[in-house]
Amino acid sequence: MIRKFGFIRWIAVLALSSSLALAQGGELHFCLKSEPKTFNPVLTSDDSEEVVRYLTGGVLVRVNRQTQQLEPELATSWKVTDAGRTITFKLREGLYFSDGTPFSADDVAFTMKQLMDPKLHSVTGDAFRSGNGDVTTKVLATDRVAITFPAPVAGIDKLFDQVAIMSAKSPKKEMAVLGPFYVADYKAGSYVYLRKNGNFWKRDEQGHKLPLLDAVKLDIQPNRDIELMRFKRGELDLINALDSDYFDKLAAASPNQVRDAGPSLDSEQMWFNQVPTAPIPDYKKAWFRSQNFRQAVSMAINRADLCRIVFAGHAQPAVGPTSPANHFWFNSKLRPYPFDPQDALNQLALAGFKMQDGVLRDSGGHAVEFSIVTNSSSKPRERMATMIQQDLREVGIKVNVVVLDFPSLIERIGEKFNYEAALLGLINTELDPNVQMNVWLSSAENHQWNPNQKSPSTEWEADVDKLMRLQASTADPKKRKAAWDRVQEIVYDQQPFIYLVNKNALSAVSPNLANAQPVVLRPQTYWNIDELYLRNAGDRAGK
Amino acid sequence: MLKLLARHLLRISVTLLLGGLLAATLIRFAPGFDTDERQMDSRLSSESVEALRQQRSAQGNVLKFYGAFLSAAVRGDFGQSETLDRPVRELVAERAPVTLKLMAYGLLVGWSLALVFAVSATMARIAAWDVATTAMAGLFLCIPSAVLALAFVFARAPGFIALGLIVFANVFRYWRNLLDKSYAMPHILTARAKGLGTLRILLWHVLPVSGAQLLAVAGVSVSVALGASIPVEALCGIPGIGQLAWQAALARDLSLLVTLTLLVTVVTLLANTTSDLLGQAFRTQRA
Amino acid sequence: MKRIRQIACVVLLAVAVMSLAAELFAPANYATQFRDELPNAGPSKLHWLGTDDLGRDRFSRVLYGTRVSLLLAPTAALLSTLLAAFIGTLAGYRGGAWEKVAMAGADLFLSLPWLFLLLMVRAMLPLNVSAFTSVAVTFLLLGLLGWAASARVVCSGARAIRNSDFVLLARASGVSRVRLLMRHVMPNLKPVLLAQFWISIPIFILSEANLGILGLGVAEPLPSWGSLLRELESFANFSNEYWRLVPLVLLVITVTSFQLILSRDEVTA
């Protein structure tokens, strides 16, 4: 009897584990928006390259995209010392790269050397540059490494979430990886094919080896309509960033396939050209430098309508440089500018503007008219600019919407300063506001409204410079938060950027894809790639 | 004949050289040439942004660039693509056959449809059929290439048919009008009055008369097909040079664009030269 | 065929009248955003063709857009046809070096990336240029650049006519070169030139739409057929909204009507 039960139990276990094996695995399909130029994680700069890096790269620590907390990965623990100048990692032992090369502290040292090579101009590396001087990496043991920077680096530990460790010894160079997948095949213009890394170190709570998927196929597809079409047909398992245009249509047909994770970290904003040497009339420069003018324009824009019409309700009026989705860093005392055309007119009157026969004129009698430039590849921005055109008409301002291709736009706003107002967006990949240093420092390149200042041209910009340097130089989160809160308040008053909306993080997930829990932080849908699997893994083999 | 071929080859070479230089000039002086999209990345330090600027300014002098480009091209080196960070020769070698194949099938479909409908409309002389064929050609002229390509992706049909319909729409009206004009000639009227068969009239009397111009239209349609291949490839996911050209144009990728222009010029010149030579052969035969 | 041409005339006239008198026929201004109604709404009593993505009345936009495109596209088509006629006829009739240089020029024109010239022109225009000026400049450029394909065909035709009997007779009787070209050669090239004109109209309308993504073409909020047709790029995913096809249907009807009227002028020997 006991033998019979034992046999039955054995059969049951076998059936259960084989059904689990059958249920898990599969080949995940989704799209890249553009062709990756490189698979070298140190040289990653655009979205598609970051996708491949996320899926293949092993990192020392990982920001859990759901909890927004830092978790150990290749490092079991870490310590920040020397007021944020030094970080020491204790590494996991007995790990191997995808090609079998053993992992050790030497690989971390090698990676840091590549990352900080000034000739490579790595985007990831630049995030670590805190001052003049070299970054030194000391291998303390095979499983311990200390990295020292010339000056404190704000949020230093979280930055390692972006650093994929490369092998110092492997003949495959950057193609040998520590992440859940490795690049197995690449067809230019067509796809990138990733296979499961048999040497990946992670296991789930039940002890199963991760990742659960067998492979990931990334089709290169710049067209969003085709991506959606393929998703509806079941050829794709997810759309990581779904346009709001398509969200409700897809939701009407298949409500269980769409996800709205709430406001993302990204923002859309417009600003006025305040460069003193800009080739625009002086009277216009005077308008744009006027705080009252900027505040009035901000008040005259109906942000709720932008959210409702352009983003089909899948956006929120924005307040400032930090989205409310960024729980810790957002200054919760601030609220979006209210839509109040009358108050806008009052504000304009304070600056000497008057309405005459429906046309707003300045104190010199010039009719207020300016152009907004934006990039052609973004229909939402074109629509927002057109809606702002109508909103400002109500306060007597004539706006011309000019859509340009991106290189022409960059030339105007970044080189020749031959523009009046611009409407663009900011993609925030990280929570820490230090990543916006090159936006808020008045001497920086991306201080869009008036970049590369030799010294701050206004008192408030000098204040912002001080506050940004303060938050970068201390490791105390409370002090940093206080400094950044104050920056947000100044920006709110001065409106150098008129923040418009924070778009929601929208995605589409096939019901066939298990364990998907879309969140706000990038990559929204496949952040837990090692735990995802396809329920009907055999159904689309070889497609 | 050899002398004629040699003259044509010389003409092609000179046109090619001039085409490359003009293309380089147009691209170099287009707005946005000196910029790089990565400059807008706020994570980059000012040194990195400056380095990006320096990279671009290295290609500042058009004549210097073109001279260096030609001397390297003679050795088979067409430079490095900034967009995709790969040798241009590799990129073009990978993708050109794909586009040429797409174009070949597309042209075959387009020319076949145009010939069938033009001949049938000319010979049948039925008003309703005339209006129908005109409206059909008009329809495919009016549908944006991107929409047509999307419709084919939606219908899971091959992309070359979309290209074929675009070619058909561009070529049909020319061929229809040329055949109509030929049919109205006195010797054709005489042949018809004498009871010659319609097919015989078409093959022996109509086509020879209008052959040279029909071929000229066919030669020009190769350029149309090349232009239409850009949205068709981009949308149907065909990794050809059309897709590459669009990416390169947006990024002002000078080496890649000049190489692609040279390739397009060669194809255009070969197509038109071939149609000229065939046209001349037609005229000689008639004489 | 005469009856069909009459119908085509009436159709064209109706389209022209409605677009020129758009203020009378349109229920709303083309720029007014009815934000309280849903954007992309279907047809209703107030909005016969529904609304676009910003809540603007689509019927009004079709009427005003027709005006812009119907005025400018045929003008640009005429310009490119005239250029093709002049260059192609001269090259084909003169032959020799004239022909070689002209045709090499045409081949170059067909191969060069004119996109960058168009970008340069946009960069030179002031940012605050009126929407109509911007689109007029675009169509002008298209007209100036669109002659090459047809010039080749015209040249081939002129070459064929050059040594024909009636031309030789005319030359022998002392007819001047200009008169010969204008009265004897050009009329025989009409089929090609008419085809060029007919094809160019929709091609230029669509090119204007594509150039819109580079800052050329019509600027918001002014509509054109091209910008209305760009809406169709999402059509595959919204294929049950047939009212979005109205601009396409209207364009096809107009272009076909043009052709049916022009076919009256097809030359007989």
- The pLDDT tens digits of the residues spanning C101-110 come to 998 899 888 8
Residue of B15, B122, B171, B213 for testing the chain C interface, max C β-carbons within 10 Å: B213
Closest CA in chain A for residue C234: A225
The answer to whether the Cβ–Cβ distance between C269 and B184 falls below 8 Å is yes
Q: Which of B98, B97, B63, B93 is nearest to B78 (CA)?
A: B93
Q: Which of B48, B247, B250 sits opposite A405 (nearest CB)?
A: B250
pLDDT of residue A4: 46
Is some CB atom of chain B closer than 8 A to the CB atom of C100? yes
A102 DSSP assignment: B
Task: Report the 10 Å Cβ neighbour count for A86.
Answer: 18
Q: How far apart are CA B68 and CA B52, in angstroms?
A: 21
What DSSP string describes A369-393?
EEEEEEETT-HHHHHHHHHHHHHHH
The answer to whether the Cβ–Cβ distance between A187 and B153 falls below 8 Å is no
Is some CB atom of chain A closer than 8 A to the CB atom of B157? no
Per-residue model confidence as pLDDT tens digits over A324-362: 999 899 999 999 999 999 999 999 999 999 999 999 999
Q: Measuring CA to CA, how many Å separate A331 from each of A334, A436, B258?
A: 6, 16, 51
Is some CB atom of chain B closer than 8 A to the CB atom of C121? no
The answer to whether the Cβ–Cβ distance between A189 and B239 falls below 8 Å is yes
Where helices occur in A236-333 by DSSP H, the ranges are 244-253, 282-289, 291-300, 303-305
Paired residues of A359 in beta bridges: A356
How close A229 comes to chain C (CA, Å)? Answer: 7
Q: How far apart are CA A259 and CA A504, in angstroms?
A: 10
What ipTM is given for this predicted complex? 0.88
The DSSP H or E segment spanning A183 is strand A181-187
Is some CB atom of chain A closer than 8 A to the CB atom of C240? no
Paired residues of A86 in beta bridges: A81, A148
How close B46 comes to chain A (CA, Å)? Answer: 6
Per-residue model confidence as pLDDT tens digits over A256-304: 999 999 999 999 999 999 999 999 999 999 999 999 999 999 999 999 9
Is some CB atom of chain A closer than 8 A to the CB atom of B114? no
Q: Measuring CA to CA, how many Å separate A246 from each of A314, A460, A507?
A: 11, 42, 10
Mean pLDDT, residues A217-229: 91
Per-residue model confidence as pLDDT tens digits over C195-210: 888 888 888 888 887 7
Q: Which of C33, C131, C233 sits opposite A390 (nearest CB)?
A: C33
The answer to whether the Cβ–Cβ distance between B42 and A45 falls below 8 Å is no
Is some CB atom of chain B closer than 8 A to the CB atom of C122? yes
Is some CB atom of chain B closer than 8 A to the CB atom of A120? no
Residues of B numbered 201-240 whose beta carbons fall under 8 angstroms of chain A's beta carbons: which are they?
Answer: 234-235, 237, 239-240
Q: Are B107 and B232 in contact (CB under 8 A)?
A: no
Q: How far apart are CA A445 and CA B47, in angstroms?
A: 10
Q: How far apart are CA B169 and CA B151, in angstroms?
A: 17
Is some CB atom of chain A closer than 8 A to the CB atom of C234? yes
Per-residue model confidence as pLDDT tens digits over A105-146: 999 999 999 999 988 889 899 888 877 888 999 999 999 999
Closest CA in chain B for residue A159: B43
Q: Measuring CA to CA, how many Å separate A283 from each of A295, A297, C213?
A: 18, 17, 31
Q: What's the whole-model pTM score?
A: 0.90
The answer to whether the Cβ–Cβ distance between B185 and C269 falls below 8 Å is yes
Helix then strand then coil, in percent of chain C rounded to 5, is 75, 0, 25
Per-residue model confidence as pLDDT tens for chain B (287 residues): 788 778 878 888 899 999 999 999 999 999 989 888 888 888 888 888 888 888 777 777 899 999 999 999 999 999 999 888 889 999 999 999 999 999 999 999 999 999 999 988 888 888 888 888 988 988 898 888 888 888 888 888 888 999 999 999 989 988 888 888 888 888 888 888 888 887 888 888 887 778 888 888 888 899 889 888 888 888 777 888 888 888 888 889 999 999 999 999 998 888 888 888 887 777 666 55
Q: Are B14 and B6 in contact (CB under 8 A)?
A: no
Residue of B4, B33, B34, B141 for testing the chain C interface, max C β-carbons within 10 Å: B141
Residues of A numbered 192-231 whose beta carbons fall under 8 angstroms of chain B's beta carbons: which are they?
Answer: 219-223, 225-226, 229
The yes-or-no verdict on residue A154 having pLDDT over 90 is no
Q: Are A397 and A369 in contact (CB under 8 A)?
A: yes
How close A164 comes to chain B (CA, Å)? Answer: 17
A429 backbone dihedrals φ, ψ, rounded to 5°: -90, -15
Residue of A406, A426, A497 for testing the chain B interface, max B β-carbons within 10 Å: A406
How close A411 comes to chain B (CA, Å)? Answer: 5
Per-residue model confidence as pLDDT tens digits over C131-182: 888 888 888 989 999 899 889 888 888 888 887 887 888 888 888 888 888 8
Task: Report the 10 Å Cβ neighbour count for C56.
Answer: 23
